[in-house]
Homo-oligomer: A and B are copies of this chain.
Amino acid sequence: MSSSDKIGVGILGASGYIGAEMMRYVALHPCLDLRWATANRDAGLPVGDVLPNLRGFVQQVFLTPAEAEQRLDAVRVVFLALPHRESQDVLPRLEAAHPDKIWIDLAGDFRTPDAEGFRRYYGQEHRAPELLSRFVYGFTEAQRKTLSGARLIANPGCFATGMLLALYPLVASGLLSGRVALTGITGSSGSGREPSRTTHHPERAQNIRAYKTLSHQHLLEVEIFLESCSGRDLRIHFVPQSAPVVRGIFTTLFVPDEPKEVLREVFDRFYGDEPLIDVVDGSPDLRSVQTTPRGIVGVDGAPDRGSIVFTVIDNLGKGAAGQAIQNMNCALGLPETTGLAWPGGFV
């Protein structure tokens, strides 16, 4: 397929980790052609100078947002990988002017219809509340029908994706409700590209700590999405933890009242035919999905102690760019795994 026959895409905010990974996924997709990518600080620089891994794959220089806006006609899909709270400033105007494009937001701005919840968890009034209810929440495995033909898609958060892979089948089956205990261990790339104390190598390299204990903002989208699916009330007790890995999230869910066999049956039913999700006995290795768009769900248990569900994803893959491509494929009517069928390394 020649470049001009391909589907043009643009990326707003392409110099952060999620934006950079979006460019990698676009380069790996046989039907996509990157027409432009923006970056505030790096505008004017060749992409390959800022991101040497893309040298030879992306020839463009980073544009300013204003320059990109002039080139919206060249694209059919726009991925927004902007910092949280910026998408809501640009989307209303852009979307109104270009109602035919597909807009996929990777930030937390449009993941629920709940403006009040947004205020509570993100600490500010939502500035485009009228758009909230128009977005489809892109947890692909549960949403592909709704995603088909969608034009406004909110990509789930990385922790949210890890939690939902474990919670959704159980809640949808009526096996889980009320209080639920989970932990999520994340790699440092989840903190983004800006250096900070908690990602300073001397202080991170051999450290474990928790943060935003019981109050992480992804709780909002997970609770609202699951309640909308099941009509049940959920109260998620979630502890995010940081470990010295670069990529990935390892989620642990306590299911004290169900034996392993029951859970395994549920997950086989929900995910048995999923092309990007594996179901295994026991704990998966986080390593198995790093750098990829795939996820693994593991189930384990012990007599009289109930069960545990584990999920592993790459926070930049299934937790961001991979799922964004998956959602775009659904929206465009392409086979869902187009551009996503390549393996990562064993180590």
Q: Which residues of A are interface residues toward B (Cβ below 8 A)?
A: 17, 20-21, 24, 27-28, 51-57, 179, 181, 183, 185, 187-189, 191, 193, 195-197, 199-211, 213-215, 235-237, 239, 241, 243-248, 250, 252, 254, 256, 275, 278, 280, 282-288, 290-292, 294, 296, 300-302, 304-308, 310, 312, 316, 341-347
A185/B288 in contact, CB under 8 A: no
Chain B residues positioned under 8 Å from A275 (CB to CB): 56
CB distance from A140 to the nearest CB of B (A): 16
CB distance from A336 to the nearest CB of B (A): 14
Chain B residues positioned under 8 Å from A308 (CB to CB): 210, 213-214, 237, 239
Chain B residues positioned under 8 Å from A28 (CB to CB): 342-343
A346/B21 in contact, CB under 8 A: yes
A53/B343 in contact, CB under 8 A: yes
Chain B residues positioned under 8 Å from A345 (CB to CB): 20-21, 24, 53, 247, 291, 316
Chain B residues positioned under 8 Å from A21 (CB to CB): 345-346
B246/A243 in contact, CB under 8 A: no
Copies of this chain held together in the complex: 4
Partner of A343, one of B27, B179, B195, B285: B27
Chain B residues positioned under 8 Å from A214 (CB to CB): 300-302, 305-308
Chain B residues positioned under 8 Å from A316 (CB to CB): 345, 347
Partner of A195, one of B20, B52, B200: B200
A239/B213 in contact, CB under 8 A: no
Partner of A208, one of B191, B245, B291: B245
Partner of A246, one of B20, B196, B252, B347: B347
Chain B residues positioned under 8 Å from A284 (CB to CB): 52, 209
Query: Which interface residue of A53, A183, A193, A306 has the most chain B CB atoms within 10 A?
Result: A53
A52/B296 in contact, CB under 8 A: yes
A250: nearest chain-B partner, CB-CB: B208
A342/B342 in contact, CB under 8 A: yes
